[in-house]
Amino acid sequence: MRVQSIAIVFLVGIIPIVSVSWSLIQTYNQKAVSQRINELQRQGNSLANLLQSTGYLTNKDIPEVNSEIAQIAGIYEGRIIIVNNSLNIVKDTYGLEEGNTLIAEVVIKTLRGTNAPFHNKNRNYIEMTIPITHNTANNTTKEVMGVIVMIFSTKNIVAISDMLSQKTVVLFITMAILIFVFAFFYSAVLTKPLKRLRGAIEHLTEGYMDEEVSISGFYETDLISNSLNQMLLRMKNLEKSRQEFVSNVSHELKTPLTSVKVLADSLLMQENVAPELYREFLVDIAEEIERESKIINDLLSLVKLDKTASDMNIASTNINDLLESVLKRLRPIAKKRNIELVFESFRPVVAEVDEVKLSLAISNLIENAIKYNVEDGWVRVSLNADHKYFYVKVADSGIGIPEDAQDFIFDRFYRVDKARSRGTGGTGLGLSITKNAIHMHKGAIKVYSKENEGTTFTVRVPINYIA
């Protein structure tokens, strides 16, 4: 990233300098040449008028005209050749060709009335021809009597442009060094927070999770630090709940085993134990083993539900039938305590659900409604739906849940009244299994409860499974 940002700053800084300098030099060249052509054109025209008015083409011994010609040639460091309409050279400022004939295309064209200046860029000279005209007798047309050929060097223009180019190169090198130095340090400033971020992440990876990450300097780095700290907090919470879970599991699994050991030890320590006492203790031992096995089963259910959504076995299911079969299974338990178990369906519902997981979830709710109920109480299960969701309500006339406990009942191993719940065979895992199962269906679960009046759990699940 640092190399990239140096390259970008460097290019962005240098390319405009190079292109602007190059186009300035080009513009200067064009302007200077066209200005020189205009000047020469003007000088040439006034010279042509002078030659015509003095009759120079027939008599060239006019000192003022000759000195004028020499002056122009001198000022512009060029050569002037004057040709008459018979292509004879009347005057050559270099004195080389006088008296000779000049047969050149430009001269012939000019005599015919078409001439244009010519700039030879490679050999650095401007060549132009100017007709010497005089008006015909009736003043309507112009007769070309001769041609002034002017050849002028553009070397001084080239010299200036060369000088400019040299200055540009110096400017370019200076700017390149300055920009490079700037880019070098600026990229260091830009990448510094990233380096610190990497350092911070490495520090975390090494296990120093208690320290907060702080990479200030830029707004963006502040945002990154915040997100990182949030992630860290989440990880810490996860770790904390994992540790809590492990210690809870160990504790819960140990409790029935401790009871079994105490029961067995007390039998072993006594001599001649009555067979009835053996029996009584063994019944207790069997109960504790039963409890241990229930905890293990619940834990396994929970672990299964902790897996990803790809483990969902989704199928179109008749929810009325599903609830009926759960109720059928639980009816004998309700009957034992003379609890009335009613199912109320407002409409038939077919939804895309994992039948096993949903049955487990609802079954836990109804089981609790029976378990934490009063003798001769009631449990009402109802099913309703709209176009998007179906709703299952489990209401009971039971002991209710104290308000301060309602926030925790979905936590693993949480039980409002440990002693009572133990008596009813609770593990504290039922509601967290239910909640996980409902969440895997992208549903929601809520509880309304009043102590000594009853509890209502409402479950809302999408009819069409949302992957």
Radius of gyration of the chain (CA): 53
The yes or no reply on residue 415 touching ligand ADP (CB under 6 A) is yes
The yes or no reply on residue 330 touching ligand ADP (CB under 6 A) is no
CB of 427 to ligand ADP, least distance (A): 4
Residue 150 DSSP SS3: strand
Among candidate residues 285, 247, 246, the one with its CA nearest the CA of residue 267: 285
The yes or no reply on residue 421 touching ligand ADP (CB under 6 A) is yes
Among 455, 459, 460, 461, binds ligand ADP (CB under 6 A): 455
Residue 145 DSSP SS3: strand
- Per rule CB under 6 A, count of chain residues that contact ligand ADP: 23
| Contact by Cβ (8 Å): 51, 82 | yes
The yes or no reply on residue 427 touching ligand ADP (CB under 6 A) is yes
CB of 267 to ligand ADP, least distance (A): 29
CB of 364 to ligand ADP, least distance (A): 6
Among 322, 353, 431, 440, binds ligand ADP (CB under 6 A): 431
Sequence-distant (≥ 6) Cβ neighbours of residue 372 within 8 angstroms: 396, 398, 399, 424, 455
**Cα 117 to Cα 106: distance, rounded to the nearest angstrom:** 10
Among 102, 252, 396, 461, binds ligand ADP (CB under 6 A): 396
Of the pair 98, 417, the CB lying nearest ligand ADP is at 417
Of the pair 21, 432, the CB lying nearest ligand ADP is at 432
Cα dihedral sign for 297, 302, 306, 312? positive
Q: How many Å from the N-terminal Cα to the C-terminal Cα in the chain?
A: 38
The yes or no reply on residue 117 touching ligand ADP (CB under 6 A) is no
Of the pair 92, 367, the CB lying nearest ligand ADP is at 367
Of the pair 117, 400, the CB lying nearest ligand ADP is at 400
Segment lying near ligand ADP (by CB under 6 A), choices 36-44, 115-123, 249-257, 422-430: 422-430
Of the pair 352, 417, the CB lying nearest ligand ADP is at 417
Cα dihedral sign for 230, 233, 239, 243? negative
Site string for ligand ADP, 353-392 (x = CB under 6 A): -----------x---xx--x--------------------
**Cα 107 to Cα 146: distance, rounded to the nearest angstrom:** 9
Segment lying near ligand ADP (by CB under 6 A), choices 244-252, 255-263, 350-358, 412-420: 412-420
| Contact by Cβ (8 Å): 381, 323 | yes
Residue 318 DSSP SS3: strand
Among 172, 184, 414, 448, binds ligand ADP (CB under 6 A): 414
Sequence-distant (≥ 6) Cβ neighbours of residue 436 within 8 angstroms: 302, 305, 306
The yes or no reply on residue 426 touching ligand ADP (CB under 6 A) is yes
In terms of Cβ atoms closer than 10 Å to its own Cβ (0-12, 13-18, 19+), residue 31 is exposed
The yes or no reply on residue 409 touching ligand ADP (CB under 6 A) is yes
The yes or no reply on residue 397 touching ligand ADP (CB under 6 A) is no
Tell me the DSSP string of 411-454: STT--SSHHHHHHTT--S-HHHHHHHHHHHTT-EEEEEEETTTE
Phi and psi for 146 in degrees, rounded to 5?
A: -175, 180
CB of 356 to ligand ADP, least distance (A): 18
Segment lying near ligand ADP (by CB under 6 A), choices 31-39, 110-118, 333-341, 430-438: 430-438
| Contact by Cβ (8 Å): 200, 39 | no
The yes or no reply on residue 430 touching ligand ADP (CB under 6 A) is yes
| Residues that bind ligand ADP in the complex, under the rule CB under 6 A | 364, 368-369, 372, 396, 398-401, 409, 414-417, 421, 426-432, 455
